[in-house]
Structures are given as structure tokens and as C-alpha cells.
Amino acid sequence: MTLRSILIHPDPRLKKVCDPVPDLSDELRTLADDMLQTMYDAPGIGLAAPQVGITRRLIVLDCVRDGEGEPRPLVMFNPEVIAESEESSVYEEGCLSIPEQYAEVERPAEVTVRWMDRDGAARQEDFNGLWATCVQHEIDHLNGVLFIDYLRPLKRQMITRKMQKLKRELARG
């Protein structure tokens, strides 16, 4: 498995609507495995393919916190929210493409998600708590939506300027 480099906002690839995955291939399974390793290494609880520069509908996540039980890596191709609760919840979100920036985002508290797993099988599951927030955040990435898009324009611009500065510093090495 290979660690992939994670794109930092702003980047045009993070604003694209990603293409569905019609059929699985070894290449896509390798990509999923690399994304999981990259996510754990970061460390993070979710990662979407466009964050590593691949604009396909693929996300990985694992919201089991350290010391709270066995890891539960999920690989989701073509994930889709098919139902959501009226009740909402607020979490402080962050993003591996927007390092060290956090803000509260309100989303449906529970969602039902349908996806294709790593073996090509159709899966469906209800998620709540942190899992619900994380899976919605990652699916947003597949539609070119970042968590800062939910914030007031002024706050969003402030974060974007910080990221532009960070990218200039990283480019200089």
C-alpha cells in the first residue's frame, strides 16, 4: 500500500462533481486501500477520492476512536444518502484538505446510506452520531462541497486565505 498525498484547499479538483464508478477493478481496490492507509496515517476519520486527486465517487471512513474498540474501516463506492432524519445535530468539523481549521456544521442527525462495498456488493446502513456527520461530509466531497461552504462567506474567505498562505509556505519547502 502507498500513502497518497492529500490536496489542500483551494484546488479545482476539490470543487468537481466526481464520476460514478460503474465497475470495480483492481486499480480502484488499490486506490481504496491506499486511501485507508493515508487516512489512518494523517490521522483522520474519513477521506474522499478527490482529496487525493482522483475525481471518482469513492470514500473511506472509520469513526471508531483510538481505544474505543476494534477499527471499522468502511470503503464506499458510489455512496448515496437515501434518507435523512428531520432532527439535526451540530459537530465541530475539520478536513484533511483544510488542516487545523475547525467549525461547527449542522447536518441531519441520522442518515441511511446505500453504497457498493470493496467486493462489489450492494450495502445499506443507518448511521448516527459522528458516523452520520462523517459520511455526509465525505459524500459532500464527491459533489465538490467542502464543510467551509456551510459557513458565513467572511469566515470561509478567512480560512481560504489561511490555506493559500499555507500552500505558498509548503511550496517554498
Active site residues: 138
Q: DSSP letters of 125-136? A: EEEEHHHHHHHH
Nearer to Zn ion, 43 or 120 (CB): 43
**Smallest distance from Zn ion to CB 119, Å:** 26
CB of 103 to Zn ion, least distance (A): 12
Q: Which is nearer to Zn ion, 74 or 95 (CB)?
A: 95
C-alpha distances in Å from residue 65, one per residue of 26, 62, 72, 81, 110: 29, 8, 10, 24, 19
Alpha-carbon gap, residue 155 to 133, rounded angstroms: 21
Site residues (vs Zn ion, CB under 5 A): 95
95 or 163: CB nearest Zn ion: 95
What is the SS3 assignment for 81? Answer: strand
